[in-house]
Amino acid sequence: MRIAFYSTKPYDRIWFAPLAADYGFEISFIELPCKKETLGLAQGYDAICIFVNDYMDKEMIDCLHTMGVKAILLRSAGFNHVDVRAAQGKLEILRVPSYSPEAVAEFAVTLLLAVNRHIHKAYARTRDFNMSLNGLMGMDLNQKVAGVVGTGKIGQAMIRILQGFGMQILAYDPFPIEGLKVEYVPLEELFRRSDVISLHCPLTAETKNLINRESIAMMKEGVYLINTSRGGLIDSDALIEGLLQKKFGGVGLDVYDEEEGIFYEDCSEDIIEDENLARLMTFPNVIITSHMGFFTMEAMQAIANKTLENAYALERGLPLVNRVQAVVPV
Ligand code: NAD
């Protein structure tokens, strides 16, 4: 199998190159993102392999189909960036449904702890020998209420960790897990009662802008909001308004609605045109990271394993257990 591997970073080669050699696959590592302008690079390949910010619309899917590409291998669990419906009957879409839920959950907790205890500010201060504690007071998590939106694999890992802190857990999921030791409540109640809200649901038509003016208005004063799922879950304008009204104790964002083309790139010499992102960066109680919740050795190894297992199943005509169909993304 010949695979055109888009958006390659040095760490992708480390995990994928030796494994691909074991399978006998020929991978062409392309540093460019997958866009209309770069799609021609997939000519002559059996599959393309893409990451979370490689958006794939109907026109691109039709183009790949015409070129004879048979599959899109996603190096991710989320598939909101691909027009799944357009690919139906033309290309297989295979994803990595689970690689390390703990990696993302542990990162969500990292964001929460960092923003709550002002680690980002304390680190900078002490390096300058400013040992003052003014403005660095946090809150205990013990006995506080955490609202977890989405109790799938990552949400459940998050719940286990937060319970370890002694937090009371409220949860919302349209498909509750039987026997899970949490209090499932309607979403509005979760917004009203939680001291910490962490998002672990996929981005779909239903969850787009789940965090908006109305939902923010329902939240407690001083609430902490953590998003490691998808940027589109939050209406950035509403979030900025809420921050300006001092609604939030802290906000941790590993994802951003318009992250494509910025996240994963070194833009330190660029003029940032996205005004919302630039504004969000200015709040002292907001920490933004570059979609790196997944980024552990264990997760990278698992992503490489699963992606190439999917390719192997496709090549050999084996059952495609990680095929994406049904759910229609945004
Ligand atoms: P999962 O499929 O195991 O769980 C998702 C859960 O969300 C399911 O229980 C589902 O019923 C629930 N859900 C669906 N619609 C909902 C709604 N309207 N409201 C509340 N819950 C809803 O997925 P997962 O592996 O736990 O991943 C969750 C999300 O995390 C992914 O969709 C992806 O966007 C994100 N993610 C981020 C990173 C990162 O690096 N930051 C890495 C992996 C995954």
Count Cβ atoms below 10 Å from residue 224 Cβ, excluding itself.
Answer: 26
Pocket of ligand 1 (CB under 6 A): 77-78, 98, 101, 104, 149-155, 172-175, 200-202, 206-207, 228-230, 254-255, 291, 293-294
pLDDT tens digits for 72-127?
Answer: 999 999 899 999 999 999 999 999 998 999 999 999 999 999 999 999 999 999 99
Residue 102 tokens, joined: 């703990």
Question: Distance (Å, rounded) from C-alpha 171 to C-alpha 151?
Answer: 7
Q: What is the largest CA-CA distance in the chain?
A: 64
Mean pLDDT of 207-223: 98
Mean pLDDT of 164-186: 98
Helix H or strand E encompassing 87: helix 84-87
Active site residue 214: no
pLDDT tens digits for 117-140?
Answer: 999 999 999 999 999 999 999 999
| pLDDT above 60 (res 330) | no
Percent of the chain's residues with pLDDT above 90? 97
Question: Distance (Å, rounded) from C-alpha 276 to C-alpha 256?
Answer: 10
CA atoms 317, 28, 299, 158: torsion sign:
negative
Q: SS3 letters for 278-324?
A: HHHHHCCCEEECCCCCCCCHHHHHHHHHHHHHHHHHHHHCCCCCCEC
Find out whether 174 and 195 touch, Cβ atoms under 8 Å.
no
Q: Torsions phi, psi of 8, nearest 5?
A: -70, 135
Confidence grade of residue 327 (pLDDT, cut at 50, 70, 90):
low
Specify the CATH number for 101-288; select among 3.40.640.10, 3.50.50.60, 3.40.50.720, 3.40.50.10610. Answer: 3.40.50.720
How far, in Å, is the centroid of ligand 1 from the Cα of 173?
10
Report the predicted TM-score, pTM, of the whole model to 2 decimal places: 0.94
pLDDT at 325: 86
pLDDT tens digits for 8-24?
Answer: 999 999 999 999 999 99
Give the β-pairing of 26-29 and 92-94: unpaired
Instruction: State how far the alpha carbon of 68 is from the alpha carbons of 29, 61, 62, 82, 181, in Å.
Output: 19, 11, 10, 18, 49
Q: Does domain 2-99+296-316 have CATH number 3.40.50.720?
A: yes
Catalytic residue among 189, 230, 260, 315: 230
Residue 171 tokens, joined: 């949860």
Mean pLDDT of 158-170: 98
Tell me the residue type at 3: I
pLDDT at 276: 98
| pLDDT above 80 (res 40) | yes
Mean pLDDT value across the chain: 96
Mean pLDDT of 34-63: 97
How far, in Å, is the centroid of ligand 1 from the Cα of 165?
22
Helix H or strand E encompassing 146: strand 145-149
Question: Distance (Å, rounded) from C-alpha 182 to C-alpha 148?
Answer: 10
Task: Pick the residue whose CA is nearest to atom 2 on ligand 1.
Answer: 152
Question: Distance (Å, rounded) from C-alpha 289 to C-alpha 286?
Answer: 10
Residues of the chain with CATH 3.40.50.720: 2-99+296-316, 101-288
Mean pLDDT of 265-279: 96
pLDDT tens digits for 252-264?
Answer: 999 999 999 999 9
Confidence grade of residue 268 (pLDDT, cut at 50, 70, 90):
very high
Burial class (CB in 10 A: 0-12, 13-18, 19+), 189: middle
What ranges in 165-264 are assigned the alpha helix state H? 187-193, 213-218, 236-244
